[in-house]
Structure 1
């Protein structure tokens, strides 16, 4: 079995897969790769099944060596990638020789990059998933300097080419939420017409937005109720929060809208201070970027 030796973990590196689905009724967050399309692309490039585990690297800075020669791919936020000091391509499969060092620099744009290894990161599953949940810290611990990560046996050949997704995040398309009536007027129109920027406190739990607060028509407290991935929740200060992969399964603030699932990957790559645009979705539906 191959092993990755982590020399530098960077600001935040976690193990992620498709997530811990089916446990919300017990209060367990979903977790999973925040930029699903980028993670899926990396898996396809190295020949992994969709449910294999990989590394989600926030703000770059990862350095690893491998005990055996393995195929690797780096996707997501465009980042300088080196193998033994030699620049290699992004969004493509490359060979990491035994003892070779893979290094990620700082992203040129975006936030999160994904490193897939043929065979997948073979840590022990917790509740059926190898994902790290940063809200409750369920699953494998965050990757630290000096960590040894086991790699499973490859199950398929690498793919030399694949279809890439749009290069930059677009507007977040909205659907009505169950508490839309708690905002004065048409909340979707208000959200689409308001200028927001990503707040500094944004993380895997939620994308926190700074901008003009939404005027709440009802300020009575709600009992805690279920919340879905992509829920747009409005706390008392009126500034929306978009729930992401590590969001709590319940919440006490009104959910006034829901971001289309096909656009949630954009939230993974928006940096603090960058503008966020919402868009209306007549008739629903949506694209799923690759």
Structure 2
């Protein structure tokens, strides 16, 4: 059993999402940085899709009622167990009554806590993830939240720590131009100069402000019919400030998508914090 003592700005239960519900109007949600959750689960010997905790910026404290194996990955929030500093992306054994405390990370945005056995709460539409856009799934964690841990898998973790680098100061994000690049007078402007992540960003999308370079201008005032949008789509509203869609993105949209970020780089975008500088790099293949 795990007890949440403090949550920080936001903490939610996340697994790898609920694909397959687009025809019912439900997006996949799931961990914003899927690679970080997979790594946390591998470190504690879980299947990669086990439910863990996604922590925004840090500030979470959890208390173990029983002996519990955990690992913290993603944004490198300083961690302590009952006041003793412990390593990032390492396997940690909490004795009954011990608490894991995450400080606030200086780089990156989202940390992940893998718990051996996984967070064992009832799934909704096949997933334990909370979708901030639709409200589907377990609500955000709060002080006093209690949840059980699932049955530990038979395989025991075979590593103590995994190397994990901090997010870079300048993120280079690969993107494919299209499908609606013909709606812009100069679509290549997306790849010129730099952008910065807006404070208005969330799990729905990373909203960008122009740092330097030419603006994105549409060549028509026509309305685009609503159409499907994918994870990593770079949608441009009338303001000209693009949004990179993340885990909780809507499944349809009415603004043109100028480009789509490669799936391999979406996790990197999920770690971009407000003020982070981003440069798009054009690619012609996935």
TM-score for both structures, normalised by structure 2:
0.95
Say yes or no: does 1:196 pair with 2:198: no
* Structure 1 runs, 4 residues or longer, greater than 4 Å off: none
Residues 33-80 of structure 1 show CA distances to partners (whole Å, capped at 9, x for unaligned) of 011111111000000001100000001010111111011000000111
Which of 38, 41, 51 aligns to 2:39? It is: 41
Q: Distance in 1 between matches of 2:184 and 2:147?
A: 48
**Secondary structure class of the residue paired with 1:51:** coil
TM-score for both structures, normalised by structure 1:
0.93
Which of 238, 241, 251 aligns to 1:239? It is: 241
Matched residue, 1:250: 252
| Residues 212-221 or 223-232, more deviating | 212-221
1:159 positional shift: 3.2
Matched residue, 1:118: 116
1:176 positional shift: 2.1
1:10 positional shift: 1.1
Matched residue, 1:219: 221
Aligned-residue Cα RMSD (Å) equals 1.3
Q: Distance in 2 between matches of 1:176 and 1:6?
A: 44
1:163 positional shift: 5.2
Count matched residues.
280
- Map residues 149-188 of structure 1 onto 2, 5 A cutoff: 149-155=147-153, 156-161=155-160, 164-169=163-168, 170-185=171-186, 187=187
Report if aligned partners of 2:107, 2:166 keep a CA contact under 8 Å in 1: no
Residues 206-250 of structure 1 show CA distances to partners (whole Å, capped at 9, x for unaligned) of 000001530111221111110000000010111110010000000
Report if aligned partners of 2:45, 2:116 keep a CA contact under 8 Å in 1: yes
Say yes or no: does 1:81 pair with 2:79: yes
Q: Distance in 2 between matches of 1:166 and 1:278?
A: 21
Structure 1 residues 64 and 163: CA distance shift in structure 2, 3 A = closer
Report if aligned partners of 2:235, 2:259 keep a CA contact under 8 Å in 1: yes
Matched residue, 1:272: 274
**Secondary structure class of the residue paired with 1:151:** coil
Note the residue ranges of structure 2 that are not aligned, 5 or more in a row: none
Q: Distance in 1 between matches of 2:196 and 2:6?
A: 31
Matched residue, 1:288: none
1:166 positional shift: 4.6
Matched residue, 2:206: 207
